[in-house]
Chain A
């Protein structure tokens, strides 16, 4: 089955700097890669996703890149702000009926003012 590895487990950056979180997956048939943000005590929420037919997707300060050959994808946050502090999860699945998302272990991102 699918296995998703996420690094780093914790990341601390200065406000205004960029943050990068990386994930690798094992199943070459996976074709959907979402990123979820979970603030302390709250539910996970989708922030950006990418399908395997696209190499990069951007939404304001966040972007995701996908390298299908190497089976890895990354989340990039630019101009970080204190409200970006949260736990971020990557995931992978095949799009077929219900999505069996396999999540990475999570990255705790702290933005230092």
Chain B
């Protein structure tokens, strides 16, 4: 069954603790992304990676870190420096685009709802 998975679905942490969210894909996609979704604000890009061992900051990277050691995996760590970490986190993947390609779709995982108290 091809697709993109995230685990766990729900995650609870105490304030001050780091937490790592998992994202795995078997679509053979080069590019992977992490978004944060808050009510009424749409999706905001945290980090993205075009290829293995390379990643760039998105619009709201402060307080987050990522790694891309394998093509299939792009874990996100929410650090204690993130001031407002409670949110719904979505991972996505896509083919690296070029002008000749026709499939630009980003495929999303089911998301992880993180609650920090």
Chain A positions near chain B (C-beta within 8 angstroms): 1, 6, 9, 32, 34, 42-46, 49, 89, 91, 95-106
B104 at the binding interface (Cβ < 8 Å): yes
* 29 A-B interface contacts by CB (under 8 A): A1-B59, A9-B40, A32-B104, A34-B104, A34-B105, A34-B106, A43-B111, A44-B90, A44-B108, A89-B43, A95-B97, A95-B98, A95-B99, A97-B50, A97-B96, A98-B33, A98-B48, A98-B50, A99-B94, A100-B45, A101-B106, A102-B45, A102-B59, A103-B35, A103-B42, A104-B42, A105-B40, A105-B41, A105-B42
* Beta-carbon contact of A101 and B108 below 8 Å: no
Interface of A, helix, strand, loop or mixed by DSSP: loop
- CB pair A95–B104 under 8 Å, yes or no, is yes
Number of interface residues of B (CB under 8 A): 28
Count, A-B residue pairs, CB within 8 A: 66
> 7 closest Cβ contacts across the A-B interface?
A103-B42, A98-B31, A43-B108, A98-B50, A103-B43, A46-B105, A105-B42
Q: Among the interface residues B43, B45, B49, B56, which one has the most CB atoms of the partner chain A within 10 A?
A: B43
Q: Given contacts A32-B104, A34-B104, A98-B31, is CB(A103)–CB(B94) below 8 Å?
A: no
Residue B110 interfacial (CB < 8 Å): yes
Docked CA distance A46–B40 (Å): 19
Question: Once bound together, how far apart are the Cα atoms of A43 and B4, in whole Å?
Answer: 11
The chain B residues found within 8 Å of chain A, CB to CB, are 31, 33, 35, 40-45, 48-50, 56, 58-59, 90, 94, 96-99, 104-106, 108-111
In the complex, besides A95-B97, A105-B40, 18 extra interface pairs with C-beta distance below 8 angstroms are A34-B105, A46-B105, A89-B42, A89-B43, A95-B99, A95-B104, A96-B97, A97-B31, A97-B50, A97-B97, A98-B97, A100-B58, A101-B43, A101-B45, A103-B44, A104-B42, A105-B41, A106-B42
CB distance from B75 to the nearest CB of A (A): 17
Residues of A within 8 A of B110 (CB): 42-43
Chain A residue contacts of B48, Cβ below 8 A? 98, 100
The CA of A15 and the CA of B100, in the complex, are separated in Å by 39
Q: B residues within 8 A CB of A105?
A: 40-42
